[in-house]
Amino acid sequence: MRLTAQLCAAALLAAAHAAAHAAIDQATRDRAVAFQIVQKNKACDWLAGAKMLNALLDEDQKALAEYRAEKIPPGMHEDERAVRLIKAMIAGQRARTKKLNDLVDQCGWPTITEYGKAASRAAFLLVQHAEPEVHQRYLETLRALAVTGELAKANYAYLLDRVLLEEGKPQRYGTQVEKLEDGSWTVAGQLEDPDNVDARRRDLEVLPVELCAYLAMMEDGPTTVSYPRCKR
């Protein structure tokens, strides 16, 4: 019995050491990725790039505002008017994504150090509003930049949740929401370990930290929240 316990303890210790080394190795890789991207940024005209990104974001936000102004009811996205608007949005979105991809291919992802927070956020939002293959393309890059301070941590949380949702997996931070037919708001899909979501949101600086407060701010006026955890 004592030998078995000793073997178990040794196995646990070995696993802990392996996990620690893996974390160190990952941190080293993340720093290398961020450094390479920053160096690539330096070879380009960051001011012109930042202006382009902010202009693309303005186009993106205008298209979203025009769509929301139509007030398409939940469950009516196959309506002829909605289909027409969605097709126009997708066409514009793809054109903006191509320009972003071209910039990244030439200059690397726009980091906070070289492009500033506004341009970094603009690039993130362009990716977030793009199609699933674009999310997959940039997910690991944005993770490395987030942990090294070259991207807002919350931006990575939003993108990761969207990718998880697209893969049919539970969200980790509860950033992706949906409006139900009764007009109330809830977390889209499933949520990993709901009781600890606020702690995870705090770790990645997702605001508001409290998920229930986040759901309650989805509309300018009074907002009805349907998520069970918020009704306790």
Both 81 and 181 in a single domain? no
Query: Quick one: DSSP state of residue 225?
Result: B
127 and 201 fall within a common domain: no
Higher pLDDT, 88 or 220: 88
Query: Residue 71 has what pLDDT?
Result: 72
Write the DSSP string, 27-47. HHHHHHHHHHHHHHHHTS-HH
- Answer whether residue 10 shows pLDDT above 80: no
Query: Is there a domain that residue 31 lies in?
Result: no
Asked if residue 143 and residue 220 are part of one domain, the reply reads no
Q: Same domain, yes or no, for 51 and 130?
A: yes
pLDDT tens, position by position, 113-156 = 999 999 999 999 999 999 999 999 999 999 999 999 999 999 99
- For residue 133, the model assigns a pLDDT of 97
> In 10 A of CB 158, how many CB atoms?
20
**DSSP assignment of 56-124:** HHHHHHHHHHHHHHT-PPTT-TTSHHHHHHHHHHHHHHHHHHHHHHHHHHHH-S--HHHH-HHHHHHHH
Do 160 and 139 meet the contact criterion of CB atoms below 8 Å apart? yes
Pairwise CA distance, residues 116 & 140, whole Å: 20
Residue 1 lies in a domain: no
Question: What are the structure tokens assigned to 179, written together?
Answer: 């409006």
Within a domain: residue 184?
yes
In a domain, 54, yes or no: yes
Last residue of a domain, one of 151, 167, 202: 151
Residue 137: count other Cβ atoms within 10 Å of its Cβ.
15
pLDDT at residue 204 tops 70: yes
Residue 12 is assigned to a structural domain of this protein: no
3-state secondary structure of 182: coil
Residue 196 and residue 104 in one domain: no
Domain, as residue range, for 194: 177-231
Whether 95 maps to a domain, the answer reads yes
- The length of the chain in residues reads 232
Q: Give the pLDDT of residue 17.
A: 47
Are 142 and 48 part of one and the same domain?
yes
Rounded Cα gap, residues 113 and 39, in angstroms: 11
182 and 133 both lie in a single domain: no
Backbone angles phi, psi at 185, to 5 degrees: -115, 145
Residue 20's pLDDT band, with cuts at 50, 70 and 90, is very low
In this structure, are 201 and 131 located in the same domain?
no
Q: d(Cα 71, Cα 186) in Å, to the nearest integer?
A: 19
Domain count, the chain: 2
Q: Are residues 126 and 79 in the same domain?
A: yes
Q: In this structure, is residue 11 part of a structural domain?
A: no
Beta bridge partners of 178: 186
Do 137 and 227 share a domain, yes or no? no
pLDDT at 67 over 90: no
pLDDT in tens, 84-117: 888 888 999 999 999 999 999 999 999 999 999 9
How far is it, in rounded angstroms, from Cα 43 to Cα 154?
Answer: 28
Q: Does residue 70 carry a pLDDT above 80?
A: no
Task: Out of 100, 135, 151, pick the residue that ends a domain.
Answer: 151
d(Cα 3, Cα 82) in Å, to the nearest integer?
Answer: 69
| 46 domain residue, yes or no | yes
Average pLDDT, the chain: 87
Residue 171 has pLDDT above 50, yes or no: yes
In order of 52, 86, 153, 157, the CA distances from 124 in angstroms are: 14, 21, 11, 11
Q: What is the mean pLDDT of residues 47-63?
A: 96
pLDDT at 77: 61
